[in-house]
Structure 1
Amino acid sequence: MGYSTIQMVKERPGIPETNTEYDQVLEDKIRAADSLIDNRLKRYTKVPLENPPEIIAEISADLAAALFREDQAPPNESNVFRGRAEKALEAYIRETYLHIGFTKTG
């Protein structure tokens, strides 16, 4: 099972939940998105994540929607989903694995 669901991905580009035309493609995009996420996280933790936080599910859905959109859109079209996913993943890594501990003074 992926970090996100088909329904989560469908919400991004506005594909009706009842439209199953793209379900297999979206499953493939979720797998690809999760692989990209795992590739970024593997230097910090064991992947795939056993109990991923909700933010990882949201990142996966955004990234899967981005991959889907990139296949459908004209070349060089900007992709809000990819940008949002990349920023969120960077923030997650920074806050989860790269945080600097506080030193008690005084």
Structure 2
Amino acid sequence: MSFLTDSTHLHIATWVIAIVLFLVAALASSSKAIHMVLRLFYILIIITGGALFYKTMSYGMGMEYGIKFLLGILTIGMMEMVLVRKSKDKPTMIFWILFAVFLFATLFYGFKLPMGAKLF
């Protein structure tokens, strides 16, 4: 378990790969295999994020990291909604907008927290 919590590199690598896969799946016409691989990355993101969340409980910042965890789950939910609605030929614009909003909020909040990179 210490491998998961020694740094945030594994978590960052999983969500960067997932975002790239999501964009490929959303823009490709036939993306069943990519969508299945993306679902695996959702699980990896949640596992690594959960491990980091568990580690931060000793920092006394559980609520802040809990909010970031919730924003991350909402981002993953919007990614899945875009792909599922696209496969059913339903409108996806509102879910693209929500995805962008939740992704921005998650990244901003994640980088602002003590374990994040000092960008802001």
TM-score range, shorter chain: 0.3 to 0.5
TM-score by length of 1: 0.36
Whichever of the two has the greater Rg, that structure is 1
Q: Tell which has more relative contact order, 1 or 2 (C-alpha 8 A, sep 6+).
A: 1
TM-score (norm 2): 0.33
